[in-house]
Amino acid sequence: MILAQKIVRDDGVLLCQKGAPLTEALLRLLGRLNFETVPIEVSSAESPEEQAARLAGEEARLEARFVRVQSDPVLTELKKALLKRLHEPEP
């Protein structure tokens, strides 16, 4: 069994990537963090609308993290690389 969606805590901290195997250790960790359910189905896990909303939220959080270094050309390229991975995650 693998995770159908990445798991993010309420404060935005990424706990586990989409596609991670649902191991005993992961279940124990999520239990400790009071997660009662996790999405495990890969197919049709996310509708196009849900995906668009999720990506918009992730992009907004990414932009917010870079707000203080907007004039740095190297870090702008880092942001672009992260945006690219957001939209074209590797299998």
Partner 1 sequence: MKDQGEVKKQIRRIKNLPTLPGIVQKISRMVENPKTSSADVARLIAQDQVLSAKVLRMANSPFFGMSRKISSITQALVILGFNVVKGLVLTSSVFDMMKQSMVGLWEHSIGCAAAAGAVARHLDRPDTEEVLVAGLLHDLGKVVLSLQVPEETTRILDLAKEKEISFYEAEREILDFTHSDVGLWLSEHWNLPLALSDPMRHHHQPDRAKGAPEQTAIVHLADIVIRARGFGFSGDPFVPPLSQTAWEILKLQTQDFDLILADLDSKLLNMADYL
Site residues, partner 1 (CB under 8 A): 11-17, 19-20, 23, 25-26, 29, 33, 61-62, 64-69, 72, 74-75, 77-79, 81-82, 84-85, 90
DSSP string of the chain? -B-SS-EE-TTS-EEE-TT-B--HHHHHHHHHTT--------TT-S-HHHHHHHHHHHHHHHHHHTGGGTT-HHHHHHHHHHHHHHHS---
Shortest separation between residue 75's beta carbon and partner 1, angstroms: 6
Nearer to partner 1, 49 or 90 (CB): 90
Shortest separation between residue 73's beta carbon and partner 1, angstroms: 8
